[in-house]
Structure 1
Amino acid sequence: MSEKSLRVNMLSSSEKVAGQGVSGAYRELLRLLKRDAQKELDITENQFVQADITHYHTIDPLFYLSTFFKKRVGRRVGYVHFLPETLEGSLKMPRLFQKVLGKYVTSFYNRMDHLVVVNPSFIDDLVAFGIARDKISYIPNFVNKEKWYLSTLEKRQNTRKEFGITDADFVVLGAGQVQKRKGIDDFVTLAEKLPHITFIWAGGFSFGGITDGYEHYKTIMENPPKNLIFTGIVEADKMRDLYAATDLFLLPSYNELFPMTILEAASCGAPIMLRDLELYKVILEGSYVAAKDVSDMNMMISDLACDGTALSKLKEKSRQISINYSEERLLQVWIDFYRNQAKVK
């Protein structure tokens, strides 16, 4: 390790749970820094080592205990992938436990010397938890162009055949964990209202039976409308094929920070429709179609299915998302961030 190289120890257990965006974001950052920042950063992973900076990606109790060994872990940087209220509509748990967990999350964030958010709209929420504004930085997620890219017409056709979809069918794809806050109920309602359009939801129960509404959604997945396909949790290669096979990517979530699926879909060329949330306006303004509710979604999907020109323009906007959140642009941002953090005493 050179004299100028900083040791950054990454702590994360995100990959223990399949099908969640935190794992994807963590793996992409680790891959990028190990590949392209070797001269500046010495990256270790899940070790209790002497470090200049320890970057906490998940809030495990053991990681929390390590924050008390300040001389060993160095500068403590926390990655904010969710807020306490994000857990509502995600996991089924007693009200008391939910309250305790919320306090734990807040305590964990307060133990950090600095926090990184993937969406600037959540800085005010953290300030409300008692965290100083100057201790929070915004660094967005980014997309790996080697994994998420435009596919071929042949691949699009083959994937459609695999799911029994014809070239003439209009396909709407949603992705993420099957849980209430993701807007699954609205997705199902849209399939019922638009029987001539094919809907696909890629994702499953990453947290099994403790998922909020598990029995309800399990019943729906076992008996969906005829034009709605639930794929379950899928690997990246298959997800890329699904993005290529779709005509419109729809994320009807009620609560998010910065879903990796949006960046993935955009990089694969899929036009984007999102629920009209304030948080998207900050990071994606003008690059997607915003729908207020299921009625809005219904109308807009119907219009886009009949308007190839509008769909093409929306597809071009997705290309701009892919450019804005490329790994090339974010690499130097991360290197500079770590250097600046290491200077703070």
Structure 2
Amino acid sequence: MIKITMYSSADKVAGQGVGSAYAELMTLLKDRFASQFDIQINEFSRQNDISHYHTIDPRFFVSTFSKKRGQKIGYVHFLPETMEGSLKIPQPFRGLFYRYLIAFYKRMDHLVVVNPTFIPKLVAYGIPQERVTYIPNFVDDQRFYPVSAAKRWELYRRWKLDPERFTVVGSGQIQERKGVFDFIKLAKQNPHFQFIWAGGFSFGRITDGYQELKKVVANPPANLLFPGIVTRDQIAELNNIADLFLLPSYNELFPMSVLEAFSCGTPVMLRDLDLYHSIIGGYYQPAKDVDQMQAELVRIAQDPVALADLKQKSLTAAQRYSKDHLANEWYHFYRTQTGRE
């Protein structure tokens, strides 16, 4: 049996994708490989075969110098450039934090990235390519799945929404990087549609754009609902209510919110970022900016065939990033890291 200790504080901050990815992996490993992997959480005293670091806490960094850690695996959820537009960290603290982040990654024996486009960026920071492996995120299809028409109508009543109005849902932290200002603009331009953004200010006042966004959240347009940070089960409900999932982010790695929408069979529109092309290209409606989002939104809302096509693409993407497929990848990865394969 392989002894693995997970080091994570991802569940301490609600409403962030890192926490969702961590929760999905923990559930998967415990359900599928309880007899192959002995998994503990934040245990510093035992001798590990693998220490898997999900967050970059200073106490975790200190722990990497212990001989008990075994093979040190780091999960790369962000890089310095992906932090821009997320948190407002003044200089010189921002530069110090970025240097710490890369130093943390360099302490690892191996890194796992959720998007292959980040491999050359890590190499540019001085990390050998052979020490980096790409394993995409995934979601639990027992929690995120398409519901029946009758259940969908029930969810509309539960959320006090009009089932006759075209419904657009986005989710994630409320921050500038997520393109929330564009989401708000689209809601104002389409008063006949209803818009919902599920998420909140997970990092409070240090969130980039906090003051201006806080004003809109407190007094949104009549057709825009901000329910705040919600549970993952509620995210599944909103994805099933949605006629379209829209994420206008300017920067991402591999957003869990998109995988959750795919798994529910929800049609997806995204800002067409280059980093999406290698992982989910062809499965979503691309839009280069808010004006194109507006044009595509109007077109799709009036075209049931286009909407059905996008729905089928989401279901196909969900199969590609299924829990069964990724379970095998993680199983073989851990065994390879300990020399069992």
TM-score tier (shorter): over 0.9
Aligned residue runs from structure 1 range 205-244, under 5 A: 205-244=201-240
Aligned residue runs from structure 1 range 116-127, under 5 A: 116-127=112-123
1:215: Cα distance to partner? Answer: 1.1
Q: Give the aligned partner of residue 53 of structure 1.
A: 50
Q: Could you give the per-residue CA deviations for residues 55-111 of structure 1, whole angstroms, max 9, x where no partner exists? A: 000000000001111x20000000001111222111112121111100000000010
Match of 1:147 among 128, 138, 143: 143
Q: Give the aligned partner of residue 178 of structure 2.
A: 182
1:245: Cα distance to partner? Answer: 0.6
Q: Could you give the per-residue CA deviations for residues 188-224 of structure 1, whole angstroms, max 9, x where no partner exists? A: 1111111111111000011111111111111010111
The TM-score, its normalising length taken from structure 1, stands at 0.96
Query: How far apart are the structure 1 equivalents of 2:322 and 2:206?
Result: 35
Unmatched runs of 5 consecutive residues or more in structure 2: none
Q: Give the aligned partner of residue 33 of structure 1.
A: 29
What SS class does the counterpart of residue 32 from structure 1 fall into? helix
Q: Give the aligned partner of residue 255 of structure 1.
A: 251
What SS class does the counterpart of residue 95 from structure 1 fall into? coil
Instruction: Please say if residues 155 and 241 of structure 1, whose CA atoms lie closer than 8 Å, have aligned partners that are also in contact.
Output: no
Aligned residue runs from structure 1 range 88-107, under 5 A: 88-107=84-103
Match of 1:129 among 113, 125, 128: 125
Query: How far apart are the structure 2 equivalents of 1:143 and 1:241?
Result: 15
1:150: Cα distance to partner? Answer: 1.2
What SS class does the counterpart of residue 78 from structure 1 fall into? strand
Unmatched runs of 5 consecutive residues or more in structure 1: none
What SS class does the counterpart of residue 100 from structure 1 fall into? helix
Residue 192 in structure 1 maps to residue 188 in structure 2: yes
Match of 1:316 among 287, 312, 315: 312
Q: Give the aligned partner of residue 305 of structure 1.
A: 301
Q: Could you give the per-residue CA deviations for residues 118-157 of structure 1, whole angstroms, max 9, x where no partner exists? A: 0001111101110000000000011101111111223322
Q: Give the aligned partner of residue 19 of structure 2.
A: 23
Query: How far apart are the structure 2 equivalents of 1:332 and 1:209?
Result: 41
Q: Give the aligned partner of residue 66 of structure 1.
A: 63
Q: Could you give the per-residue CA deviations for residues 271-330 of structure 1, whole angstroms, max 9, x where no partner exists? A: 011101011111001110110000000000000000001100100000011101111001
Q: Give the aligned partner of residue 288 of structure 2.
A: 292
Query: How far apart are the structure 2 equivalents of 1:162 and 1:29?
Result: 30
Q: Give the aligned partner of residue 105 of structure 2.
A: 109
1:33: Cα distance to partner? Answer: 0.7
Q: What code does the residue aligned with 2:48 have? A: A
Moved more, 179-188 or 38-47: 38-47
What SS class does the counterpart of residue 120 from structure 1 fall into? coil
1:39: Cα distance to partner? Answer: 2.6
> How large is the RMSD of aligned CA atoms in angstroms?
1.1
Instruction: Please say if residues 142 and 327 of structure 1, whose CA atoms lie closer than 8 Å, have aligned partners that are also in contact.
Output: yes
**Post-superposition, which runs of at least 4 consecutive aligned residues in structure 1 deviate over 3 A?**
none
Query: How far apart are the structure 2 equivalents of 1:313 and 1:212?
Result: 36
1:20: Cα distance to partner? Answer: 0.5
What SS class does the counterpart of residue 102 from structure 1 fall into? helix
What SS class does the counterpart of residue 338 from structure 2 fall into? helix
